[in-house]
Amino acid sequence: MAWTDKNWIAYVSNKNLITYLLKNNDDLVGYYELIFNGEKQEIEIAYFGILEEYFGKKLGGFLLTEAIKKSFSLNAKRVWVHTCSLDHKNALKNYLSRGMTVFKSEILKKEIAQFI
């Protein structure tokens, strides 16, 4: 599903969305996005990623720790993230090693063409 300009504008205009960048001088290394739900006092780490050329340098763990710390500094009572088998092979291990726990696990089968 391709997003239109209208979709992107609506997404980035969300007052509960905050995007953080990790940079090395002027080069983008990675980023994360937090979406705050004030009613539930929780934050979803909506998107999280490191550029492939920075894999293996322990920056994923550093950035995830920063995302979790930032979430709790914003008075979240709960921080959560979705992950799947399409994520980096160390994603789940990274979440678990930083104190996150598996809340729910399910197997979904979808045609990959839906995402292209």
Domains of the chain in sequence order: 16-115 (3.40.630.30)
Angstrom distance (rounded) from CA 34 to CA 51: 18
If pLDDT is split at 50, 70 and 90, which confidence band does 83 have?
confident
What percentage of the chain exceeds 90 in pLDDT? 59
**Average pLDDT of 90-106?**
80
Show contacts of 66-73: CB within 8 Å, 24+ apart: 66/20, 66/22, 66/32, 67/20, 67/32, 67/34, 68/98, 68/99, 68/100, 70/20, 70/34, 71/34, 71/43, 71/45
Give the chain's mean pLDDT.
87
Task: Say what the pTM is.
Answer: 0.80
**Tens-digit pLDDT profile for residues 17-53:** 999 999 999 999 999 999 999 889 999 999 999 999 9
The DSSP bridge partners found for residue 17 are 35
Q: Looking at per-residue confidence, does 26 or 3 come out higher?
A: 26
Q: Looking at per-residue confidence, does 96 or 115 come out higher?
A: 96
3-state secondary structure string, the chain? CCCCHHHHHHHHCCCCEEEEEEEECCEEEEEEEEEEECCCCEEEEEEEEECHHHCCCCHHHHHHHHHHHHHHHCCCCEEECCCCCCCCCCHHHHHHHCCCCCCCCCCCCCCHHHHC
Cβ proximity of 51 and 28 under 8 Å: yes
Instruction: Check whether 112 has a pLDDT greater than 70.
Output: no
At residue 9, the pLDDT reads 93
